[in-house]
Amino acid sequence: MTDDEIIYLDNNATTQLDPAVIEEMLPFLVKHYGNPSSGYSFAGKALKALDLARERLAALLGCEPSEIVFTSCGTESNNAVISSALQYDPRGKHVVASAVEHSAVLRPCQDLAKRGCDVTFVGVDRDGNVDLGELEEAIRPETVMVSIMWANNETGVLFPVEKIAEICREKSVLFHTDAVQAIGKIPVRLRDTAINFLSLSAHKFHGPKGVGAVYVNRRTRFRPLILGGGQENGRRGGTENVASIVGLGKAAERASQYSSEGKTHVRSMRDRFEKAILETVNGAAVNGAGAARIPNTSSFSFEGIESSAALLLLDRHRICCSAGSACRTGSEEASHVLRAMDPSGDGARRGLRFSFSRFNTDAQVDRALEVVPKVIEKLRQVAAPASGSAVSSVATAP
C-alpha cells in the first residue's frame, strides 16, 4: 500500500459502495428511467427491478418480500415505525427504549415525551447489556411499543432482540428493532420471530446512501409516515428511488453471499487488531468486551487521552475512525453510549471506535497497528510531559 492511501476504519459510519452494486445501479440511472408506476412496458423494467430488490432483501432477512417497505434511510425507517405504532394504538401513552439507542430513535422518542407520551429509557451495565428483568418491569399496561437496537453502533454490542420480542408479544406490546448495524453483519431470520418492525439502511452494508427499508411483519398494522401516491403498497408515498433500491437489493445479495460462503475475514481482522492494541498499549480497554458483539467493531477507551485530539492525529496519518458515533463528531458532547455504560467514569471522552469491512486489507490493519500506539503515546506525552522535556505540540504528527 502507498503512504497516502486512506485507511478507512469507520465502517459503522458508512461503507464503500461495492463495485458490483454500482454496476447493477447504473442502467437504472441512465437507461431504464421509467417511473415504476407507469403502465407501459418501458417502465416495466423499473417495476421488475423493484420486485427483484425486494426479493433479495427478503432473502437476507428471512422474511416475505411483501413485508418490506423501502424508505429514504434508516432514520426515516425509525421515525416511520415510531409514528405508526403511536397512531394506531389507542393506549398511546408509553414507550420503552434503551438509553444507548442511535439518535434516530432517541430523538423521535424525546419528541414523543414533549408531546405528552411517557418514555422510559432502560439503562445498560458496564458491558453495555440491558437487563431483561428490568426491561420487563418497565413495560406497563399502557405501553404501546418497545424499541431496542439489534447492535449498538458505537460498541457493536448485540442485544437479545428475539427474546425481547417474545417478552413483548406475551404482553401484547409492539416491538421494533433498529437493526441498521446488524444487517449484513450477522445472520438474521425474521420468519418465526415476534419482531413486529425492523429498520435498516443500505449505506451501512456497501449499498448507496439515502435508501433504507422497514420490515413490517405481515400481521402488524402500519400507518405510513409519508402520504402520497400508493407506492410501496400504500405504505410509503413518493416515486421510488429505483436505482438506489436496486443497489440496496444487490448489497443485500452480496451480504448473503459473504455469510453463506462462511467468510470470516472481517472478524479475524477485527480480532487481530483488538488483541494487538491491548498487548501494545497500556491503559487500553475494550468497551463491551464482556458482551456478545458484531464481528466488525472495536471500541476502545484509552487512559490519558482525549478522543478529539486522537482523531486529529490519526487523520494526519490518513486513518479514519471515530469517537463514538459519526453523527456526533464535531459536537463536544461525550458519547452517551459510553456514559450509560460507565456513568461515574470519564471513559466517554477517551473512546475511539474502529470498525472494519470486507474491503479492508491485512496490510491496512498492519499500518493501523503501527500508527495507533504511537499516536496514543504522543498524546500522553503532550498531556503529561516528563519534567525537563519540551512540550511538543499536538499539531506535529509523530
Binding mask 288-327 for ligand PLP (x = CB under 6 A): ----------------------------------------
Size of the chain, expressed as the number of residues it contains = 398
Site for ligand PLP in 49-88 (CB under 6 A): 73-75
- Piece of 23-31, 46-54, 185-193, 198-206 that binds ligand PLP (CB under 6 A): 198-206
**Is the Cα torsion angle 272, 203, 340, 178 positive or negative in sign?**
negative
> Please, which residue, 25 or 104, has the CB nearer to ligand PLP?
104
Q: Which is nearer to ligand PLP, 224 or 324 (CB)?
A: 324
- Look at the block and give the residue holding cell 453463506: 260
The stretch among 18-26, 200-208, 284-292, 314-322 that binds ligand PLP (CB under 6 A) is: 200-208
d(CA 232, CA 77): 13
Residues 242-281 that bind ligand PLP (CB under 6 A): none
What are residue 213's DSSP bridge partners? Answer: 70, 200
Residues contacting 294, CB < 8 A, separation 6+:
151, 156, 158, 181, 182, 185, 186
Residue 104 binds ligand PLP (CB under 6 A): yes
What does the alpha-carbon distance between residue 85 and residue 103 come to, in Å, rounded to a whole number?
18
The footprint of ligand PLP on residues 117-156 (CB under 6 A) is 149, 153
Is 327 an active-site residue? yes
Q: Which of 67, 178, 232, 274 binds ligand PLP (CB under 6 A)?
A: 178
Residue 204 binds to ligand PLP (criterion: CB under 6 A): yes
Tell me: does residue 212 bind ligand PLP (CB under 6 A): yes
According to DSSP, residue 393 is labeled -
Euclidean distance between CA atoms 106 and 118, whole angstroms: 13
- Residues identified as active-site: 327
* Positions that interact with ligand PLP (CB under 6 A): 73-75, 102, 104, 149, 153, 178, 180-181, 201, 203-204, 212
